[in-house]
Amino acid sequence: MRRLESLRPEFDERDIRVVTVSTDTVEELQQGRGAHGLQAVMLSDADLDVTDTFGYRNQLVHSAPPGDEQEALPVPVTLLVDRDGTVLWMDVAENYQRRSGPEVVLAAIRDHLD
């Protein structure tokens, strides 16, 4: 997510707000916020309720079922959503360790908002 902060001028120019959903607890998000330098609304999904609602629980490594004490992670998903809540673009990672690079996100912004 830190890499997306390189797009801050593009976000600001288009009045884009970044929102993240993480399996970190609220406390972990508060502690790590300054370390990452990300200017975003950061939401906690520590119990993976949101992740499971949308079907984005990682099915490979770190895929503990709901209620299991083992670590479980979501698949990284990047969305571009307009003010009305319409999803304009979505990128779903195949690997839980990889997210869309800034260049991919910037291309989507330009394709859908310019």
Beta strand residue intervals within 1-114, DSSP E? 19-22, 41-44, 77-81, 87-92
Q: Where are the domains of the chain?
A: 2-113
* Distance between CA atoms of residues 5 and 47, nearest Å: 26
Phi and psi torsions of 61, nearest 5°: -75, 150
pLDDT at 103: 93
In this prediction, residue 68 has a pLDDT band, given cuts at 50, 70 and 90, of: low
In this prediction, residue 3 has a pLDDT band, given cuts at 50, 70 and 90, of: confident
In this prediction, residue 10 has a pLDDT band, given cuts at 50, 70 and 90, of: very high
CATH of domain 2-113: 3.40.30.10
Global pTM value: 0.74
* Distance between CA atoms of residues 70 and 25, nearest Å: 16
